[in-house]
Amino acid sequence: MKETNSFKSKLNMDMLTDQFLVSMIKEQTTPIVQDIEKALAAIDNASSILISGHIRPDGDSVGSTNGLLNTLRAAGKIADIVKIWDLPSQAEFLNPEAGIEWQEIVPEKYDLLIVVDTSSPDRFLNEKHKLLEKFKSNSKPVLVIDHHGTNSKFGSINLVSHAPSTTYLITLMLMNSHLPLTKEAFKFLFFGFVTDTGGFAFSLDNPESIFLMLKLANHYDLDPWFIYRKAVREKPYTVMKFVSEATISTKLITPPELPIRTAICSVPPEMLERYNLKNEAVAALPSHINLIQEADIAVVMSAEEQDIIVSFRSKETDVQKLAVELGGGGHLRASGTTIKNSTLQEAEEKIKKAIRKLYS
């Protein structure tokens, strides 16, 4: 890895005393080393940087934006997050920075736009704020860092690779840099990794990543159990009551009605209102509904203004192709889409039609 900046005399990974951990970082980095170099060069050449995550942010989005924010500011750069959505309550214990409202952003103030954990421009409200067009029209680079297989590589520089989480990609990038990766920054990155891997469960196809992140947590003197517990093992009582009602209302549809066993959970606005909850509470449902033993696919739908937000989960079945069929994207066993201008019932029929088409 060539030296792209000079904030420290050594790369972050060279500061580690565990040589096995260093060799593992190098091994995990090798397939994407050229993309990492391009990303670091863009960051090095910028003195002011704007960072964006995606709409309805999850832990990986919050961890990515705030992990980068802390690192860039520690490096002496001007860095801000653009706020396009309220942050999830799941991250409150970390006191993350929400950012500047997108309506108040002045793009001309920044040299670089970094978009994290976002597979396509519509996922960070680009149709409203037009940040992509504004940066590119001024010949300013856009760096996309993402781990989704459906990413459209819409940046002028793209660090896009299959990985357990975007925060994991950022960790590999920063370990191969001179940028000051602080304990505060890594705390956010570790949080994002824990949440996006479902408490490490979804990263079992890359066990090295779990070992690497836990070893780094020890290096930074973090308490992994505390972060794991706060991130995935605790939920407010009202959310648990909401989850119970939503589970009871879930329909299990089996062949011959559908070619694959499907659990469909529909969340009308009044269900959330009963518990005085916001739409972000729905995030607790997909993994929970996916626990149903008799279901191959879990579908969770909720209404947001005129649109229906849909999440897909599975134990083994490819639900990425189902999301893509309906205009969305994601991972093989965790994906989602937005069905525009629809009712819950209309959205359910569209989903059923897509399931019949893809799995028959």
Query: Which token pair is 321?
Result: 């192709």
| Alpha-carbon span 303 to 305, nearest angstrom | 6
Q: Which residues pair with 100 in a beta bridge?
A: 82
Largest CA distance in the chain: 65
The pLDDT > 70 percentage for the chain reads 98
Whether residue 282 has pLDDT greater than 50: yes
Cα–Cα distance, 331 to 171 (Å, whole number): 20
What's the pLDDT at 4? 43
Confidence label for 200 from pLDDT (cuts 50, 70 and 90): confident
> Given this model, what pLDDT does residue 9 score?
54
Rounded CA separation 360/352 (Å): 11
DSSP 39-65: HHHHHHT-SEEEEE--SS--HHHHHHH
Question: Would you list the domain boundaries of the chain?
Answer: 12-233, 237-359
Mean pLDDT of 89-94: 93
Chain-centroid distance of CA 331 in Å reads 11
pLDDT the model gives residue 14: 86
pLDDT digits (tens, 9 = 90+) for 237-248: 999 999 999 999
Going by the DSSP 8-state scheme, the letter that residue 87 receives in this structure is: P
- Rounded Cα gap, residues 308 and 301, in angstroms: 6
124-157 residue pLDDT tens: 989 899 999 999 999 999 999 999 989 999 999 9
- The CATH H-level (homologous superfamily) assignment of domain 12-233 is inorganic pyrophosphatase (n-terminal core) (3.90.1640.10)
> 237-359 sits in which CATH class?
alpha beta
- CB crowding 76-90: b at 16 or more within 10 Å, else e: ebebbbbbbbebbeb
Q: How confident is the model over 179-186, as a mean pLDDT?
A: 96
Mean pLDDT on 93-108: 96
- One-letter amino acid of 194: V
For residue 205, what pLDDT band results from cuts at 50, 70 and 90? confident
Tokens of 46: 């910028």
Say if residues 136 and 156 touch (Cβ distance below 8 Å). Answer: yes
The DSSP 8-state label assigned to residue 268 in this structure reads -
Residue 204's pLDDT is 73
Residue range 21-64, pLDDT digits in tens: 999 999 999 999 999 999 999 999 999 999 999 998 999 999 99
Q: 243 in the Ramachandran plot: left (φ > 0), alpha (ψ -120 to 50) or beta?
A: alpha
User: Could you tell me the pTM of the whole model?
Assistant: 0.91
> Above 70 in pLDDT, residue 7?
no
Please state which of the ranges 7-21, 30-44, 61-75 shows the lowest mean pLDDT: 7-21
